[in-house]
A and B are shown apart, each in its own frame.
Chain A
């Protein structure tokens, strides 16, 4: 039985990645947006390296959050419109599992590229090199949370004509704990303070979110498909 699920989930992953690769601009545009947002800050605040290093963790994380919102609306939108979402609900495999596959796709397309270009962003904002590994770890632990919590909002608003604005309204407050945990860890690293405990806290938050949200997303998908 579980092997059956696995091949189904693999098929879902493969399909969605293939579709995404046919629409490359959807993957690249959020990254460009992220880049531009980050380059706005030195212009607006001033190029002093000390100030930039001070605000870098927060700026990178806020920009990451906004960038993930961009792709979020699309997460279930296409599936809803072409009818594959209702087929997803009708699969014999449990819906939370199928939804987890969708979340994974979203992370691979938005979260992972973000982690990959983070060193460049850190460079632009003059983040001390010693804090870079911690920044990367927080992004690795935190971006899946962005995808998972975002998926709840995306699933709730998928059937709305203009769900984008409502989506940000729903999701942003739920991101606040993540923002706090992640930036606190990076800031501690900037000041040379121990960060292990904070990373553990972030990790546990991440695990908790990833275990619980698929059920909420599944419930939301069912309501939206109705």
Chain B
């Protein structure tokens, strides 16, 4: 794995192309603490088209990075790259002291929530929580969680009969019990109502204040202070 990473680095003369700007202003970074995640010169080419190139940033403890850009700029791709779901890129991603995204320790310390909710439509909220917790190796009181996320009273209904926002809430419950340090959230506000958004922003704030880090995409304006990674003002071809 290590060799692979180095090899990729070798193949990354992407800074030279330097087409799309990747601006990043250091927000409320605490400089002395070690970084959670460091990315350098990330370049993604999908279907012969450069999505973005030369994207570099560092995620420190207590930091929130907001990935912004128009549709098709590669925001989801960037998050999936960081999570280790998408390996077709150039550049280097170093997690917690230089580990690869696929190492077991990193897997334990990160939580990725994608576009798709990741819950089973045939199962109820309670059952979905049960298997999620078992997979995450966590034991928490499911009823407390349901209350916090506002699903009390709906716990026995199969998820397919719930609304999209309610399904999204089941998926987001993971954020309330997961021990993971870094959250990678792809459009977490989708389908949530105003109260849900508020709830989630509160939880994010809590996570940051305990030294966690978040990288997220969203078209919403965040009330939580965040630094921005801007992808692709325009979609470009080679050179």
Task: Say whether A associates with B.
Answer: yes
Which A residues lie at the B interface, using CB under 8 A? Answer: 4, 7-8, 10-12, 14-15, 18-19, 22-23, 78, 81-84, 86-87, 89-92, 222, 225-226
**Residue B87 at the A interface, CB < 8 A?**
yes
Cβ contact within 8 Å between A90 and B117: no
Nearest B residue to A83 via CB reads B116
In the complex, A226 Cα to B134 Cα: how many Å?
25
Cβ contact within 8 Å between B120 and A82: yes
**Residue B84 at the A interface, CB < 8 A?**
yes
In the complex, A221 Cα to B210 Cα: how many Å?
35
Cβ contact within 8 Å between A90 and B108: no
Cβ contact within 8 Å between A90 and B83: yes
User: Which residues of chain A are within 8 angstroms of B115 by Cβ–Cβ distance?
Assistant: 83
Given A15-B120, A86-B118, A87-B118; 6 other pairs, CB 8 A cutoff: A11-B134, A19-B123, A22-B158, A83-B114, A86-B116, A90-B83
Cβ contact within 8 Å between B118 and A84: yes
In the complex, A225 Cα to B123 Cα: how many Å?
23
12 A-B contacts, Cβ less than 8 Å apart?
A: A22-B122, A82-B116, A83-B115, A83-B118, A84-B118, A87-B118, A89-B84, A90-B83, A90-B112, A225-B85, A226-B85, A226-B86
Q: A11-B134, A18-B127 are in contact. Are A83 and B117 (CB under 8 A)?
A: yes
**Residue B31 at the A interface, CB < 8 A?**
no
The prevalent SS among residues of A at the interface is: helix
The prevalent SS among residues of B at the interface is: loop
**Residue B137 at the A interface, CB < 8 A?**
yes
Cβ contact within 8 Å between A23 and B85: no
User: Which residues of chain B are within 8 angstroms of A22 by Cβ–Cβ distance?
Assistant: 122-123, 158
B12 CB → nearest A CB, Å: 19
Pick from B85, B107, B119: contact of A82, CB under 8 Å: B119
Size of chain B's interface in residues, with CB distance under 8 A?
27
Cβ contact within 8 Å between B131 and A90: no
Which B residues lie at the A interface, using CB under 8 A? Answer: 83-88, 104, 107-108, 110, 112, 114-123, 127, 131, 134-135, 137, 158
Cβ contact within 8 Å between A90 and B122: no
A2 CB → nearest B CB, Å: 12
Cβ contact within 8 Å between B134 and A7: yes
Cβ contact within 8 Å between B122 and A23: yes
Cβ contact within 8 Å between A4 and B114: no
User: Which residues of chain B are within 8 angstroms of A7 by Cβ–Cβ distance?
Assistant: 134, 137
- Leading 5 A-B pairs by shortest Cβ distance: A83-B116, A11-B134, A83-B118, A92-B107, A22-B122
Which interface residue of B83, B87, B122, B158 has the most chain A CB atoms within 10 A?
B122
Nearest A residue to B159 via CB reads A82
Cβ contact within 8 Å between A86 and B131: no
User: Which residues of chain A are within 8 angstroms of B134 by Cβ–Cβ distance?
Assistant: 7-8, 10-11, 14
In the complex, A28 Cα to B104 Cα: how many Å?
39
Cβ contact within 8 Å between B119 and A84: yes
Which interface residue of A18, A78, A81, A90 has the most chain B CB atoms within 10 A?
A90
Cβ contact within 8 Å between A18 and B123: yes
Cβ contact within 8 Å between A82 and B121: yes
B122 CB → nearest A CB, Å: 4
A68 CB → nearest B CB, Å: 22
Cβ contact within 8 Å between A8 and B85: no
Q: A226-B86, A226-B87 are in contact. Are A82 and B118 (CB under 8 A)?
A: yes
Nearest A residue to B83 via CB reads A90
Q: A4-B137, A86-B112, A92-B104 are in contact. Are A15 and B123 (CB under 8 A)?
A: yes
Which interface residue of A84, A89, A225 has the most chain B CB atoms within 10 A?
A84
Cβ contact within 8 Å between B122 and A19: yes
Nearest A residue to B106 via CB reads A92
Nearest A residue to B134 via CB reads A11
Cβ contact within 8 Å between A82 and B87: no
User: Which residues of chain A are within 8 angstroms of B84 by Cβ–Cβ distance?
Assistant: 89-90
In the complex, A18 Cα to B127 Cα: how many Å?
9
Cβ contact within 8 Å between B120 and A92: no
Nearest A residue to B107 via CB reads A92
